[in-house]
Structure 1
Amino acid sequence: MDKKKLTERDICTKFINPALKQAGWDIQSQVREEFPVTNGRIIVRGRMHTRARPRRADYVLNYKKNIPIAIIEAKDNRHSLGDGMQQALAYSDALDAPFVFSSNGDGFLFHDRTGLYGKTETTLQLDEFPSPETLWQLYRQYKGIGQVARQTVEQAYYDDGSGRTPRYYQMVAINRTVEAVAKGQDRLLLVMATGTGKTFTAFQIIWRLWKSKQKKRILFLADRNILVDQTKNNDFKPFGQAMTKVTNRTVDPSYEIYLSLYQAVTGSEEEKNIYKQFSPDFFDLVVIDECHRGSAAEDSAWRQILDYFSSATHIGLTATPKETKEVSNIDYFGEPVYTYSLKQGIEDGFLAPYKVVRIDLDRDLQGWRPSKGQTDVNGELIEDRIYNQKDFDRQLVLKKRTELVASKVSEFMAQTDPYQKTIVFCEDIDHAERMRQALVNLNPQRVKENRKYVMRITGDEQEGKAELDNFINPEERYPVIATTSKLMTTGVDAQTCKLIVLDQRIQSMTEFKQIIGRGTRINDDYNKHWFTILDFKKATELFADPDFDGDPVKVYTPGSDDPVNPDDENAIPEDEQLEAGCGEKPEGYEVGPDSGWETDDPGGETGGSGEGGGRTKYYVDNVEVSVIAERVQYLGPDGKLITESLKDFTRKKVKEQYATLDDFLRRWNEAERKQAIIDELAEQGVIWDDLTRDVGKKLGEEPDPFDVICHIVYDQPPLSRKERAEQVRRHDYFSKYEGATREVMNALLDKYTNAGIEPIEKVSVLNTAPFSEMGSVIELVNAFGGKPGYTEAVKDLEDELYQQTS
C-alpha cells in the first residue's frame, strides 16, 4: 500500500482510528469526528445569503461526553507529521482542550498545553497514543479537580434525545462554571452576547450541579416577567415538578428549583417578607439573569436579596457587564469565567451580521433656536437657547422631525420588505406614541389590512404590552412595527427582527449593546440571517468605541461620591419604571437611588408644564426638517464597520488578491467554478448586493458579478447578463448540440440570464423547471454521456460567456 496515495479520510480510518482504539478510546462515545466548531459566517447577497466554510475539527476526544480534553488534526501522508498542529491549536483555543495532536498516519506530534506530560511537543508512534485515563488524570491535575469535585465535573449534560447539544462556546462556558463551582468558587460571572443562548447555558449548568447533588436548591432571578416565563416554559422545562415560580404570596419550601422576578421578592416591607420566608441558607445557588441591571449597584434594593442569600453560590449572566465608577458587576462577581462576544458570534456564524444606514437631519446637526417670545402649540413660552439632537424629543419636539423619521422608515420598508419585524427605539413613551401615530398615517393601506400593523409597546399601556408576545412570535405577522423606549431593550427574544430604528440618543455602551442584540438572532425557518440598523441620532458611532466589543474592564471605585450622570441613557426614567418591571408597580415603591428603580429624567413621561419640579417639554409644529446626509456602512470581515466608499473598499480588497486585470482574468478563466471566486471575494468583504445595484443602474439591467469587478476595480465597460447571453447566441454557439443537449444548454443560458452564474454550476438545477419537464436528472446528464460530459459542457458554456473579455 502506497500511503502517499491515500486520502485524508483513508488516513483517519486506516491509521488514526485503530491507534485510538488500541489506546482504549471508545470510538462511539468518546471520539467525535468532523466536530462542527462554527457555522460559518453569514455572507449577504441581496435578499439571498450564503455561509463561509464552517470550521470543523477532525477529532475531538472527550473523557466524558461533555468534556473535550484533546484535539487531533489529520492530514494526508503527503504532509509532514506536524503540518496540522497550528490548525489544531486554534481548535484547542476555542474548545479549552489542553492536549493537541497532529497526524499524517505515520504517528502523532503531541503538544501538551498543561506542561505536565514532559516536553511541550513530543513525537509519538501510532501505538504510543495516550489512554483516556492518562489524559484525564493530567487534565484533572491541570485544572485542580480533586476527588470531591470529580463527581460534579463528570456529571453529564441534560439530553432529551433530540440531538441538541451545546455549541462549542456554550460547552466551554458550562464546563468552566461547573468546574469553578465544584472547586468552591462562590461568585462567578458569565458574559455572553445577546442571542448566544445564555438561558440554555444556565440550564445546563444548573442541571449538572443539581443532578450531581452539588447544589440542591436553586433560585433563578430575572427582572422581567417575560424572561421568567420564557425560561420556565422553554429551556428549564425539563425540571418539571421540581420547579416553581415565586409570586407575591406565601412561598412553598417543597420545591428545588425556584424562578422569580426581583420585584416579586423585593419592594415594600411586606414584599420583602416573601423572600424572608426562606431561611438565609435555604438556597445553595442563586443565578442572576441580566445582572448588569439592578443587582450591579451596591446600594440597590435588588442587591438586598443577594446579600440575604449570601451563603449561596451566585452566578451572574449578562451580555453587557456594567462597569462604571458607580456600579460594577466585576467588583461583586469577579472577573468573567468566560466571555463570548458579539464580534465572535458573527464571525462564527451563530449571530446575524448587520449593515448601518446613517441618516443625518439638518436640525439635529445645525440646531434650532426659537424667535424671541415664541410659544409652542400649547402656549408655553419656549426657553430661548439653541436646541439640538440632545434635546429633540426629550425637551423639545419638532413635529415635522418625527414625520420625517417615520417617512424614512416607511420608505426603507417599502423598498425592502414592508412586513419585516421592526423596532423603533424612541426617547420616551410620549415619543413612542407620536412615532406610532406618524407611522400609522404614512402606512394607511397596511393599517387598513390590520390595525395592529403599527403598535406602541411600552410598559404603561396594557393593549400594546399585550402584543409583545405576538411581536416576538415568528408565526404571527402582526404587529409588524413596534415603537418603544425601554421595554424592548433587553431580554426580548425577537428572533425575526430585521430592522432596528434608533431615534434615541444612546450614550451607555451597555444599553447600546442590548438594543443591537435585538437583531442578532438567526432564524433559518423564517429567512432571518441579517438585519439593518437605521440610525437617526448617531448612536452607531459607539461601534467605533473600543469598548463595544472589548473585554469588560473594572473601573468601579468603592464608596465613590461621584454623582450619577443625569444623561446616563442606561438609567430608567420614572415614566418608564413599568417598562423595566414589566408588571404592576408594587405599592409603596419610591423612585430613587435606594429603591432599585433608577431615574434619569426629572421631567417624567411628557414633561408637561413642569409641575412638581419637572422640566417642560415644548411642542413645535411649524419648523421644517430635512435630510442632509445619508450613508450606508457595512460590517467588514474584521468585525468593523466599513466607513470608506464601498467602491474604494472593493478596489482595495480585490487588488490585494488580483493586482492587475490580467491576474483576475487568469484566475477567473482557470476556475472550475466561477461561484467559488464570488464566494471568496464575499468572504473578503465584497458587498455584491449594493455593488450590483449601482452598476445595474447604469446598464438598466442586472450585471454579472464578473462585470461588476471588471468595471469597479479595473474600469472596464460592463455588460449585463442579458447582453452576455445574447452574444453567445449570436456566435451560433449551440449549433454543435442537438436534441436534448441543445434544449438543456439553451435553458441553462436562460437560467444564467435570469439568475446568474451560481445556479447553472450546480447539477441540482436540473431538478427545477424547465429542466424537470425535459426529463429526470439522470436522463439529462446521460444525454451528455454522463456527469463528466455534462460538467464539461457547462464549463464550455462559461468559457463562451466570458471569452470576449479575455
Structure 2
Amino acid sequence: MDKNSLTERDICSKYITPAITAAGWDLHKQVREEVSFTKGRIIVRGKLHSRGESRRADYILYHQANLPLAVIEAKDNKHALGAGMQQALGYAEALDVPFVFSSNGDGFLFHDRSGTGAQKETELSLGQFPSPEELWQRYCQWKGLSGESQQKAEAPYYDDGSGRMPRYYQMNAVNRTVEAVARGQDRILLVMATGTGKTYTAFQIIWRLWKSGQKKRILFLADRNILVDQTKNNDFKPFGQAMTKIAKRQIEKSYEIYLSLYQAVTGNEEEKNVYKQFSRDFFDLVVIDECHRGSASEDSAWREILDYFSGATHIGLTATPKETKEVSSITYFGEPVYSYTLKQGIEDGFLAPYKVVRIDFDKDLQGWRPPKGTRDKNGELIEDRVYDLKDMDRDLVIEARTQLVARKVTEYLTATDPFQKTIIFCDDIDHAERMRQALVNLNPKRVEENRKYVMRITGDDKEGKAELDNFIDPESRYPVIATTSKLMTTGVDAQTCKLVVLDQHIKSMTEFKQIIGRGTRINEDYGKYWFTIMDFKKATELFADPAFDGKPVVIYNPEGDSTPVPPDETEGEEGDVIDGGAGATEGDETTGGGADDDGKKRVKYVINNVAVHVIAERVQYYGPDGKLITESLRDYTRTCLKKQFASLDDFLRRWSDAEQKKAIIDELASEGVMWEALAEEVEAKRGQPLDPFDLICHIAFDQPPLTRKERAEQVKKRNYFAKYSGAARQVLEALLDKYADTGVEHIEDIKILQLAPFSQIGAPIELVRAFGGKPGYQEAIQALESELYAS
C-alpha cells in the first residue's frame, strides 16, 4: 500500500504506535491516544452559546498515570516529518511536558525542551524512539530530582476506580508541588483561578505526600466555616477516619488529617489558642486555603499559627495573591510554583465567560447638589457639596436610585429567567436590606409563591446565613436572589449563579477578582455555561487593569527596619474595613455609615424626593483575546471578519470553495463571531432573517443584504429545477423552502431527509437514489448552494 495514501489514523496505527511499543512503552499504562485536554472555549451568542474546539494531542506518554513526559503529534505522509512540531510544542507548553515529537510515519522529529540533550531538535528513525527509562531519567534531570527526591516525586495519585483524572492544569499544579516538596522546598504558593478546583488539587497533593509517608500529620486551614465543611464532606472524603475537624475544645491527637477554620484555632485570649495544645513539631505539612488573607500579614493572629508550626512545609492556595506595600503572599511563600488564570480557564472551556451589562445613572455621573438648607428624610441637614458616584450608598442614599437598580435587575430576570440564581453586592448591610425590600416590592407574585425568593444573606442575619447552603445548592430553587455585602465575596461555591450584580464600590483588585469568581463555575447539568455581570458603579473598569489577569508583582517594601502593620482585610475607599480579620466573626460586614479621618462616625444622608434616570446602558462581551468588547457588536464583528478575509473577493472565493458552508460558519464562531446576537441586531432593523453569507457581506464589506426568502425566490425564478424531475425535484424544492426557513446549515445535513416534508416524499435511501446515489445527492446540494449565492 502506498504510504502517501494513508490517513493520519492509519499512520498512527501502522507506524507510530508500533515504534512506541518497540521502545518499551506500555500501551495500557503509559500511553494515551487522542487526548482532549481542554473542553473548548464557550462562546456566548446573544442568549445562546456554543463551544469552540478542544485541544487534542495525538499521543501523551506518561511515566505513571499522572506524570506526563512526552507529546507526539501525528500527520499523514503527505506532510513533512516536522509538520506537526509547532502544534505539538503548544500542547507541550500547556501540559508542562519536556519532550516533544512530530511524525509523518517515516520517523520522528524530536524537540527537547528540557535542555538535557546535545541539541534542541533531532531527527530519529522509527527504531530510535527513546525508552520510558531514558525519558524518565532526563525528566528527573530537568526537574532537579535525584536519589530519594526522585522516589518521592513518584508518589501515586488517589484513584477511586471511576477513571476520573485531574484536569491537565490540576495535574501540573500537583506535580510541581510534589516535586518542590521532594526537593526540600518548605514554602510553596499555588495560584489558581476561582472555580478551577483548588480544593481537589490540594487533596491530591496531600494524598500523594501522606500515602508516600513524606508527610504524616497535616493541617488544612480555611477562612470560612462553609469551606471547611465542604472540603471535609466532598473532596477530602477519601481520608475517612484519619480526618477530623478542629473545634474550640480539647484536641484529640490521634488523627492524621486536621481541618480547621483560622478563627477556631486563634483568639485574643491565650486559652483560645487551641493550636498551642499541639507541639510545635506536631504537623509536618500546613495547607492554607485563601492564603491572600491573614497569612500574608506579618502581625496577623492567623500568621501566629504559621509561625508556631514554622518547621512544617507550608503550601498556600489562592486565586488572588495579595501584593501591596504592606502585605505580600510572594514574600512569604515565594514565587508561585504554578499559576492558572481566569483567562486560561475561560480559553480552555473550564470556566464560564461573562458578558457585562453596564448601566449609568444621571446622578452618578452628573452629580447632585442639594439646595441650601436641604434636610434629608431623617431631618439631618445635608452638607452643601456635589454628591456623585463615589458617594452613593456611602454618604448619600437616594431611595429612587435603589429602586431603579432593583427595577433594572427585575427587568433583566423577567426577560431571561426569573429563577436564575443572582447575587447583588451592596456597600453595607443597610444597603443590602434596602435592596431586599425594593426587590420584594417589585416581585410580589414571586415572593407570594415563596417568601425566600429574595433573601438578605449577611453576617449579622442568622436566618439569611442559614439560607446560604440552599442558595448554593443547585437543586434548591430558593433563595433565587441574594442581597449581600461581604459574606458572599469568598467561599461561596455558587455553581448555578448566572447573574452577579455590582452595586458596590470596589477598589481592591483582590476583592473584585473574588466577586467575579462567584459566577465563573460551569454546571452543565443545570444549563450554566456563562454568566452576566450587571454593573451600576463602574466596578468593571477594573477588567482593563493589567493586574486583573496578569502575574502578581511583589511591591512589599517595609520602610527601614520598621515592622509593617498590614491590615488583615481588603480595604475599600477611604480605608473602610470591608472584611473581618483575625478574631473577626465569619463574614464581618459594616452596617453602614463608616468613619471620617478624625474618627467620627460619618453621617449617611437619606433622601426620598430626588428622581434618578438611566442615561447609558450597553452590553460588553468577553472577547477571544480575554478582553471585553467595548465597541459595538457590529464594529467588533467587522474587525473579526477582516482578520479572516482580506477582501470581498477573498471571502466569496473561500465561501464558494467550501464543501460545507457550516465549516466556515463554525470556524468564525470559534473566532468570536456571535451569529445569534448579530442576527438579532441586524434583523431587528430589516424585519426578516438573513443568511450568515449576507451578514458577512453586509457587516464586513457594506454590501446590501438579501433575506433568505429573497435568495430562495431568485433561484425559483431562474428555473434551476428544470433539469430534475420526480422525487429529486420535489426534494430540491423542499430543501429550498427549508433554506428560506432555517438556513444553509440545515440543508447540508443529510439527516434532514428523515424529517417532514421529505419523509412524505419517500424513505431517505430512496430519495438519495433519486440523485443516483450519495455522491449525486451531495453534488446537487453544492449546485443548489452555488445557485443560492450566485448573485
1:721 corresponds to 2:708 = yes
Shift of 1:659: 3.2
SS at match of 1:519: coil
Work out the CA distance in 2 between the residues paired with 1:466 and 1:254: 32
Shift of 1:441: 1.8
Post-superposition Cα deviations, 1:527-549, rounded to whole Å, max 9, x if no partner, equal 22111211111111111111111
Q: Contact between 1:243 and 1:255, CA under 8 Å: does it hold in 2?
A: yes
Work out the CA distance in 1 between the residues paired with 2:24 and 2:595: 79
| 1:118-267 superposed matches below 5 A | 118-267=118-267
Work out the CA distance in 2 between the residues paired with 1:621 and 1:723: 56
Q: Contact between 2:576 and 2:594, CA under 8 Å: does it hold in 1?
A: no
SS at match of 1:352: coil
Work out the CA distance in 1 between the residues paired with 2:421 and 2:698: 36
Residue type of the partner of 2:27?
A: I
Is 750-759 or 123-132 further displaced after alignment?
750-759
| 1:118-517 superposed matches below 5 A | 118-269=118-269, 272-517=272-517
| 1:479-558 superposed matches below 5 A | 479-558=479-558
Work out the CA distance in 2 between the residues paired with 1:569 and 1:193: 22
Change (3 A) 1:555 1:659: same
Residue type of the partner of 2:572?
A: E
Shift of 1:560: 6.2
Post-superposition Cα deviations, 1:60-117, rounded to whole Å, max 9, x if no partner, equal 1111111111111112222222222222211121111111111111111212222222
Change (3 A) 1:522 1:781: farther
SS at match of 2:102: strand
Q: CA RMSD in A?
A: 2.8
Equivalence for 2:687: 700
SS at match of 1:518: coil
Q: Contact between 2:293 and 2:568, CA under 8 Å: does it hold in 1?
A: no
Gap runs ≥5 in structure 1: 581-592
Q: Contact between 2:263 and 2:584, CA under 8 Å: does it hold in 1?
A: no
Post-superposition Cα deviations, 1:36-68, rounded to whole Å, max 9, x if no partner, equal 222111122233322222111111111111111
Shift of 1:476: 2.4
Shift of 1:199: 0.9
Shift of 1:192: 0.6
Post-superposition Cα deviations, 1:396-415, rounded to whole Å, max 9, x if no partner, equal 10001111111111222222
Equivalence for 2:591: 605
SS at match of 1:662: helix
Shift of 1:437: 1.4
Paired residue for 2:672, among 672, 685, 705? 685
Equivalence for 1:584: none
SS at match of 1:505: coil
Change (3 A) 1:791 1:491: farther
Change (3 A) 1:597 1:123: same
Shift of 1:429: 1.2
Work out the CA distance in 2 between the residues paired with 1:108 and 1:319: 40
Q: Contact between 1:573 and 1:600, CA under 8 Å: does it hold in 2?
A: no
Q: Contact between 1:647 and 1:712, CA under 8 Å: does it hold in 2?
A: yes
Shift of 1:223: 0.7
Shift of 1:140: 1.2
Change (3 A) 1:731 1:518: farther
Q: Contact between 2:110 and 2:122, CA under 8 Å: does it hold in 1?
A: yes
Work out the CA distance in 2 between the residues paired with 1:775 and 1:305: 78
Shift of 1:315: 0.5
Shift of 1:163: 2.1
Change (3 A) 1:566 1:748: same
SS at match of 1:26: coil
1:672 corresponds to 2:651 = no
Equivalence for 1:46: 46
Residue type of the partner of 1:508?
A: S
**Would you say how many aligned residue pairs link Structure 1 and Structure 2?**
787
Post-superposition Cα deviations, 1:140-164, rounded to whole Å, max 9, x if no partner, equal 1221212212332112211112222
Work out the CA distance in 1 between the residues paired with 2:278 and 2:757: 71
Work out the CA distance in 1 between the residues paired with 2:312 and 2:593: 44
Paired residue for 1:568, among 563, 566, 571? 571
Work out the CA distance in 1 between the residues paired with 2:476 and 2:751: 33
SS at match of 1:53: coil
Work out the CA distance in 1 between the residues paired with 2:321 and 2:10: 48
Equivalence for 2:604: 617
1:656 corresponds to 2:659 = no
Change (3 A) 1:774 1:525: farther
Work out the CA distance in 2 between the residues paired with 1:443 and 1:753: 41
Change (3 A) 1:45 1:781: farther
Shift of 1:748: 4.4
Equivalence for 1:762: 749
Change (3 A) 1:609 1:352: closer
Post-superposition Cα deviations, 1:126-175, rounded to whole Å, max 9, x if no partner, equal 11111111111111122121221233211221111222211111111110
Work out the CA distance in 2 between the residues paired with 1:573 and 1:422: 26
Equivalence for 2:782: 795
Shift of 1:443: 2.2
Work out the CA distance in 1 between the residues paired with 2:771 and 2:615: 59
Change (3 A) 1:596 1:308: farther
Identity %, equivalent residues: 71
Is 239-248 or 545-554 further displaced after alignment?
239-248
Shift of 1:754: 4.3
Q: Contact between 2:39 and 2:348, CA under 8 Å: does it hold in 1?
A: yes
Shift of 1:719: 3.2
Shift of 1:229: 1.3
Is 134-143 or 686-695 further displaced after alignment?
686-695
Equivalence for 1:590: none
SS at match of 2:606: strand
Change (3 A) 1:748 1:423: farther
1:644 corresponds to 2:631 = yes
Work out the CA distance in 1 between the residues paired with 2:568 and 2:316: 25
Work out the CA distance in 1 between the residues paired with 2:773 and 2:430: 69
Residue type of the partner of 1:8?
A: E
Q: Contact between 1:325 and 1:560, CA under 8 Å: does it hold in 2?
A: no
Equivalence for 2:698: 711
Work out the CA distance in 1 between the residues paired with 2:767 and 2:500: 47
Work out the CA distance in 2 between the residues paired with 1:735 and 1:452: 66
Change (3 A) 1:107 1:437: same
